[in-house]
A = this chain, B = another copy of it.
Amino acid sequence: MARGRVSRLSVRDVRFPTSLGGHGSDAMHTDPDYSAAYVVIETDAEDGLKGYGITFTLGKGTEVVVCAVNALAHHVLNKDLRDIVGDFRGFYRQLTSDGQLRWIGPEKGVVHLATAAVLNAVWDLWAKQEGKVTHLTATPDPRTLVSCIDFRYITDVLTEEDAYEILQKGQIGKKEREEHMLTGGYPAYTTSCAWLGYSDDTLKQVPAEAGPGLNRRTHVFHRFKVKVGADVQDDVRRCRLIRDMIGPEKTLMMDANQRWDVPEAVEWMSKLAEFKPLWIEEPTSPDDILGHAAISKALVPLGIGVATGEQCHNRVIFKQLLQANALQFLQIDSCRLGSVNENLSVLLMAKKFGIPVCPHAGGVGLCELVQHLIIFDYISVSASLDNRMCEYVDHLHEHFKYPVRIQEASYMPPMDAGYSTEMKEESVKKHQYPDGEVWKKLLAAQKN
């Protein structure tokens, strides 16, 4: 049972200097420092349990999200956790529809990232108090899940009754699917092999200890993603190199990270079609539903699907992407949307439209969080692995107390109580910006 009055909410700015190695670089984000606004919630309950929540950022601007978390804190402090999860829909609405704060959103950008950090901490704490892994073994009953969702603005495609019905149907065969996950895990694909900042040599032979080597990966992974979009000749060369290395059978995806306009996306992809990509990800602005629909339609004859979602800012955007046949693969993100609450509504809409969910992950902690959502999706919503896989990037897991476990290119279900959001305190301290040891050194070096 949920328990305790929230007595403290703290938030810290934690940054990893990933830009130094070109890790994570793409056509629009050339020098990301993978970072997080890291929230800790404490209660006055005697159990001493804490809830940990993160939202992922790219370095600069993390302090803005931290500021937004502080602006939301008064909605959480002194609340009883029973009241929060007992009316989770109401609490979600309170955070996202604050009469003054909503003007600087609503439900998008900085304030929504902050909302995610806070709510991720609540889900972590709730699960820990119940002694359960958030979703896999502890999936609350359909009524409870539905009561967490704010259906505002989506009832034209998904009502509360629709949602309940989908979740009820999801109970059939659930035991078998749980068993399947425990033994085989959820299929993953890798992006670490081909960041845009990597040279051809790095692509071919990144040393094993660095993690992201394609040579190492081919023995394990069957699905690969390559960053494209900065220069078409470069892309042709890189894609040929990678297709040659992985062979014709394995799956290749491409990711343009919003680099193109609509006509440009179609033209560019026609030049990369020979490398048989399963999808082109983020071909244009994440806000351009009709643009994605146009691209999607134009790429059908080339056998290329459209994927997007990591920067789609709320359920209203996903609703429309589904309504407009604008994507063939839907990529939720555990920190961009309003935590589990809003992601639930998107999983259910995707089910209704028959579109596979293939989450965005990587960054800091995104793999740790999203594995809960996608394994839940398989067990209780989609009941299928067809055309489904979850992104995996093997950076920064060492900073988490309960890191993901990958076996044979699959996410193995988490076993510890909570939402896997807790970072090692030592890592947090070292990487706090700008006062942690790592940054003190780097900033001093920059000055010299």
Chain A residues engaging chain B, CB cutoff 8 angstroms: 28-33, 57-61, 63-65, 67-68, 71, 97-113, 151-156, 258, 261-264, 284-291, 294, 311, 313-314, 316-317, 319-320, 323-324
A-side binding surface: helix, strand, loop or mixed?
Answer: loop
Most B-side CB within 10 Å, residue of A32, A151, A284, A288: A288
Q: Which residue of B is nearest A101, CB measured?
A: B61
Q: Which of B32, B104, B291, B314 contacts A110 (CB 8 A)?
A: B104
Chain B residue with the shortest CB-CB distance to A259: B152
8 nearest A-B pairs in the assembled complex, by CB-CB distance:
A109-B109, A110-B110, A60-B100, A59-B100, A156-B262, A58-B103, A287-B316, A67-B67
A399→B113 CA distance, assembly (Å): 34
> Can you list 11 residue pairs at the A/B interface with Cβ under 8 Å?
A28-B102, A32-B99, A57-B103, A58-B99, A58-B104, A64-B64, A103-B311, A104-B109, A105-B109, A108-B109, A287-B313
Using CB atoms, name the residue of chain B closest to A310: B103
Specify which of A110, A290, A320 lies most central, judged by the most chain B CB atoms within 10 Å of its CB.
Answer: A110
From known contacts A71-B63, A100-B58, A289-B320, infer whether A106 and B152 are also in contact, taking CB-CB under 8 Å: no
Closest residue of B by beta carbon distance from A65: B104
Q: Which listed residue (B61, B99, B294) contacts A29, Cβ 8 A?
A: B99
CB distance from A360 to the nearest CB of B (A): 12
Complex CA–CA separation, A287 to B284 (angstroms) = 17
Q: Which residues of B contact A284 (CB under 8 A)?
A: 153
A57 CB contacts on chain B under 8 angstroms: 100, 103-104
Contacts of A111 in B (CB 8 A): 61, 64, 109-110
In the complex, the chain B residue whose C-beta lies closest to that of A110 is: B110
Q: With A316-B288, A323-B290, A324-B290 as known contacts, state yes or no: A98 contacts B153, CB within 8 Å.
A: no
**Which B residue's beta carbon lies closest to that of A32?**
B100
Decide if B31 touches A287 in the complex (CB within 8 Å): no
Our pick among B31, B102, B108, B263 for the contact of A100 (Cβ within 8 Å) is: B31
Q: What is the distance, in angstroms, from A435's C-beta to the closest C-beta of chain B?
A: 18
A17 to chain B, nearest CB (A): 12
Bound-complex Cα distance A248 to B284 (A): 48
Once the chains bind, are A288 and B320 in contact (CB under 8 Å)?
A: yes
Provide the residues of chain B in CB contact with A319, threshold 8 Å.
288
How far is the CB of A161 from the nearest CB of chain B, in Å?
14
The reply to whether A104 and B314 form a contact with Cβ atoms under 8 Å apart is no
The reply to whether A99 and B317 form a contact with Cβ atoms under 8 Å apart is: no
Q: For residue A60, give the distance in angstroms from its CB to the closest CB of chain B.
A: 4
Q: Inside 8 A of A263's CB, which chain B residues have their CB?
A: 155-156
Q: Determine the distance from Cα of A323 to Cα of B289 in the docked complex, in whole angstroms.
A: 11
Chain B neighbourhood of A97, CB < 8 A:
28
A106 to B286, CA, bound (A): 9
- Chain B nearest CB, measured from A103 CB (Å): 4
Select which of B30, B64, B156 is within 8 A of A294 by beta carbon: B156
Please tell me if the beta carbons of A153 and B288 are within 8 angstroms of each other in the complex.
yes
